Amino acid sequence: MGKVIGGLTTSHIPAVGNAMANNLEQDPYWKRFFDGYKPVISWLEEEKPDVVIVVYNDHGLNFFLDTVPTFAIGCADTYANDDEGWGIPTTASFEGDAQLSWHLSESLIEQGFDMTMCQEMKVDHGCVVPMNLMFRHLPTWPCKMIPLAVNTVQHPMPSAKRCHDLGKALRVAIESYPEDTKVAIFGTGGLSHQLQGERAGIIDVEFDLECMDNIINDPDKMTALSNTQIMEKGGTEGIEVIMWMVMRGAISPNVNLLHKHYHAPISNTGAGVLLMTDGTD
Amino acid sequence: MVWKKHDYDDLPGTYVFDGERTHTSYNLNKMAFSFNSPENRAEFSADMDAYCRKFELSDEQRIAVLEGDFPALLRLGGNIYYLAKIATFHGMNMQDAGASFQNITTEQFKQKLENNAAGFQQHLDKRGGYWNG
Cross-chain CB nearest to B120 (options A199, A257, A262): A262
| B4-22 pLDDT tens trace | 999 999 999 999 999 999 9
Distances (CA, A) of A137 to A127, A131, A219: 17, 11, 33
| A175-214 pLDDT tens trace | 999 999 999 999 999 999 999 999 999 999 999 999 999 9
Cross-chain CB nearest to B80 (options A84, A196, A231): A196
B130 domain-assigned: no
Angle of helix A125-135 relative to helix A38-47, nearest 10 degrees, comes to 80
- Closest-CA residue of A relative to B19 is A155
Closest CA to A159 of A58, A230, A233, A249: A230
8 Å CB contact between B57 and B27? yes
B113 domain-assigned: no
- pLDDT number for residue A280: 87
Q: Is A125 a catalytic residue?
A: yes
Q: Which of A125, A164, A261, A263 is catalytic?
A: A125
B81 domain-assigned: yes
A98-132 exposure pattern, b = at least 16 Cβ within 10 A, e = fewer: eebbebbbebbeeeebebbbbeebbbbbbbbbbbb
**Residue B67 CB-density burial (10 A; 0-12 exposed, 13-18 middle, 19+ buried):** exposed
Q: Is the Cβ pair A60, B133 closer than 8 Å?
A: no
Cross-chain CB nearest to B81 (options A32, A153, A198): A153
- pLDDT number for residue A53: 99
Q: Is the Cβ pair B113, A265 closer than 8 Å?
A: yes
Residues 6 or more apart from A253 whose CB is under 8 A from it? A279, A281
B89 domain-assigned: yes
Q: How far is CA B81 from the centre of its chain?
A: 6
B31 domain-assigned: yes
Residues 6 or more apart from A64 whose CB is under 8 A from it? B29, B30, B33
Domain that holds residue A265: 2-197+208-278
Calculate how close chain B gets to A281, using CA atoms only, in Å: 21
Domain that holds residue B99: 12-105
- Give the best residue of B10, B113, B126, B127 to mutate against chain A (max A CB count within 10 A): B113
**Looking at the complex, does the CB of residue B113 fall below 8 Å from at least one CB of chain A?**
yes
| A48-94 pLDDT tens trace | 999 999 999 999 999 999 999 999 999 999 999 999 999 889 999 99
- pLDDT number for residue B132: 86
Alpha helices in chain A (DSSP H): 14-21, 31-35, 38-47, 98-110, 125-135, 160-175, 205-217, 219-223, 227-234, 242-249
**Position A172 pLDDT exceeds 80:** yes
Q: Which residues pair with A183 in a beta bridge?
A: A4, A51
Cross-chain CB nearest to A268 (options B14, B37, B113): B113
Q: Which of A103, A193, A261, A263 is catalytic?
A: A193
**Position A281 pLDDT exceeds 80:** no
- The DSSP symbol for A193 reads -
Amino acid at residue number A74:
G
A203 domain-assigned: no
A53 domain-assigned: yes
B37 domain-assigned: yes
Q: What is the CA radius of gyration of chain A?
A: 17
Counted domains in chain A: 1
**Position B91 pLDDT exceeds 80:** yes
Q: Is A193 a catalytic residue?
A: yes
- The DSSP symbol for A82 reads -
- Closest-CA residue of B relative to A82 is B36
Whole-number average pLDDT of chain B: 97
Q: Which residues pair with A241 in a beta bridge?
A: none
Counted domains in chain B: 1
**Position A31 pLDDT exceeds 90:** yes
- Structure ipTM over 0.95, yes or no: yes
B82 domain-assigned: yes
- pLDDT number for residue B133: 76
Report the C-alpha gap between B70 and A93 in whole angstroms.
34
Report the C-alpha gap between A115 and A123 in whole angstroms.
17
Q: Is the Cβ pair B88, A86 closer than 8 Å?
A: yes
What value does the mean pLDDT take over residues A244-249?
98
B79 domain-assigned: yes
User: What is the 3-state secondary structure of A96-158?
Assistant: CCHHHHHHHHHHHHHCCCCCEEECCCCCCHHHHHHHHHHHCCCCCCCCEEEEEEECCCCCCCC
- Closest-CA residue of B relative to A198 is B13
8 Å CB contact between A231 and A151? no
CATH number of the domain where residue A137 is located = 3.40.830.10
Q: Are strands A144-150 and A181-188 parallel, antiparallel or unpaired?
A: unpaired
8 Å CB contact between A96 and A156? no
Q: Is the Cβ pair B80, A237 closer than 8 Å?
A: yes
- pLDDT number for residue A87: 85
**Total beta-carbon pairs less than 8 A apart between chain A and chain B:** 157
CATH number of the domain where residue B23 is located = 1.10.700.10
Task: Tell which B residues from 67 to 96 touch A, by Cβ distance under 8 Å.
Answer: 74, 79-82, 84-85, 87-88, 93-95
